[in-house]
Each structure stands twice: as structure tokens, then as C-alpha cells.
Amino acid sequence: MFHDLKKSRLVGVSIAALSFLIMGGVSLTSAKADSPREDQTRYGLASGTGPLNTFLINGQPTTPKIAGNSALFVRKIAESSDTDVVLLTSVGGQGCDAQYSILQVTPNGIKTPTPFFGNCTTAQTSVSGSRITLQFPKNIGKYVTTPAEVDVYDLATGILTKNGKSIPAACKLDDGVCQG
């Protein structure tokens, strides 16, 4: 019995130590900015606070320019080798709450973002390997009724799908700006 008690204490201490290490790692790797309009990447502060809700890295506009509607929220959601993956949320108005875009930030700048997509509802986001999945519930608001939607972006291939069908993965620029 003494041996079992000693073993269970050792297991408890091991679990506590592992939990401490994991929580310490989470706090070190998920340092978030105070605003939903900003988040820290390995290559600088990503922000949706530029003029007319444009996207900035370290206070500088990007090429191509990216603009949100009423606001542009920024959230780093993953890292893949030397790329930080950022989810952009273009906040809309009464007719469409939000549209989303996925952006890759590298040491050399940004890659062309995906077009803004979604069904105007709040997405549930998950990351598994190189796949980023956004699930949207049905939107039964007074302006739009659409079926549930699942969009998947594969970082490895650059392919964006909507309900299993490929859609354009590069944002179409309007006067040099990716509009949300």
C-alpha cells in the first residue's frame, strides 16, 4: 500500500509539473494584443487600424493593401515553418456581420490573402496540420438565408474550398486593394 501511495504522489507531481510547463508554453506563444484589431506575429504587430480599416504590419501598409468594411479584426491562428497564419475578420453592418480572409505573413512580407468569404455569421475556426477550417452556422437573419457552410484552406497546397468545392484562393484586387 505504501508503494501505491508513493507511486500516485509521483504521478500527481509529474502531472502538475507537466501542466505548469504546458501553461508556461501557452502563455509564451500566445501573447495577444489588447485589441481584437491587433495581434503579434513573429514579424511584427499585425493591425487592422490603418486608414479606412486597412491592414498594417509594424504600422506600415502592406502590398497588396487589405481593407475591412466597418472594422478589420486580426488574429494569429497558426505557425507553419517560417509562416505565421493570420485570420482577418472584416466586420460588416446590419446586412452582414462578418466576412473572413486568411493571410500568410512571412519574413519577406505577406502573401496574397484569400478573398473574403463566409456567410455573414460568426465562424468557428479550427487548425489541424496545414488545414484551417471555418464552420459557419445557418444565417437566418432578415436579409439572407443560406445553408450552413464549411470553408477549408490548405496552407500546403494553397487551395480554398467551400463545402468541398474549390473556389478562388487569391483575393481579387479592386484598385490594388483586397476589400473585405
Here the cell at position 101 is 480572409
Residue extents of the structural domains in the chain? 1-30, 31-179
With vertex at residue 27, the alpha carbon angle to CA 68 and CA 101, rounded to the nearest 5 degrees, is 20
User: pLDDT of 75-125, one tens digit each?
Assistant: 999 999 999 999 999 998 778 889 999 999 999 999 999 999 998 888 999
Q: Strand, helix or coil at 128? A: strand
Q: How confident is the model at residue 137 (pLDDT cuts 50, 70, 90)?
A: confident
3-state secondary structure 41-110: ECCEEEECCCCCCECEECCEECCCEEECCCEEEEEEEEEECCEEEEEEEEECCCCCCEEEEEEEEECCEE
Mean pLDDT, the chain, whole residue set: 82
